[in-house]
Amino acid sequence: MDYLTEGINQGNLFVTSMIMLILVIASTKARFLDTAGVASAVFVGLLVGVLGHWSWLLILLSFLVFSHLATKWKFEEKKAKNMSESDDGHRGWVNVFANGSIPALVATGAFLTEQWEYGIWMFGAAVSVAAADTFASEFGCLDENVRMITTLNKCEPGVNGGFSKTGQLAALIGSVIIAVMTIGAWLLINPDETFTYGFNLALAVIVIGWIGCQIDSLLGAWFENRGMLTKGGVNALAISSGMLIMLAWLSWF
User: What percent of the chain has pLDDT above 70?
Assistant: 96
Instruction: Give the phi and the psi of residue 156 in degrees, each rounded to 5.
Output: -75, 145
pLDDT in tens, 34-64: 788 888 999 999 999 999 999 999 999 999 8
Q: What per-residue confidence (pLDDT) applies to 182? A: 98
Q: What per-residue confidence (pLDDT) applies to 244? A: 97
Asked if pLDDT for residue 238 goes beyond 70, the answer is: yes
Asked if pLDDT for residue 82 goes beyond 80, the answer is: no
What mean pLDDT do residues 194-217 have? 96
What mean pLDDT do residues 219-223 have? 93
Higher-scoring residue by pLDDT: 135, 80: 135
Asked if pLDDT for residue 1 goes beyond 80, the answer is: no
Per-residue pLDDT band at 77 (split at 50, 70, 90) = confident
pLDDT in tens, 5-40: 999 999 999 999 999 999 888 887 777 787 888 889
Q: What distances in angstroms separate CA 112 from CA 59, 107, 222, one per listed residue?
A: 21, 9, 35
Q: What per-residue confidence (pLDDT) applies to 127? A: 98
Q: What per-residue confidence (pLDDT) applies to 83? A: 67
Q: What per-residue confidence (pLDDT) applies to 192? A: 87
* Cα 202 to Cα 127: distance, rounded to the nearest angstrom: 12
Average pLDDT, the chain: 90
**Taking the model in full, what pTM does it have?**
0.93
Asked if pLDDT for residue 194 goes beyond 70, the answer is: yes
What mean pLDDT do residues 93-110 have? 92
Asked if pLDDT for residue 88 goes beyond 60, the answer is: no
Contact at 8 Å (CB) between 170 and 139?
yes
Q: What per-residue confidence (pLDDT) applies to 84? A: 62
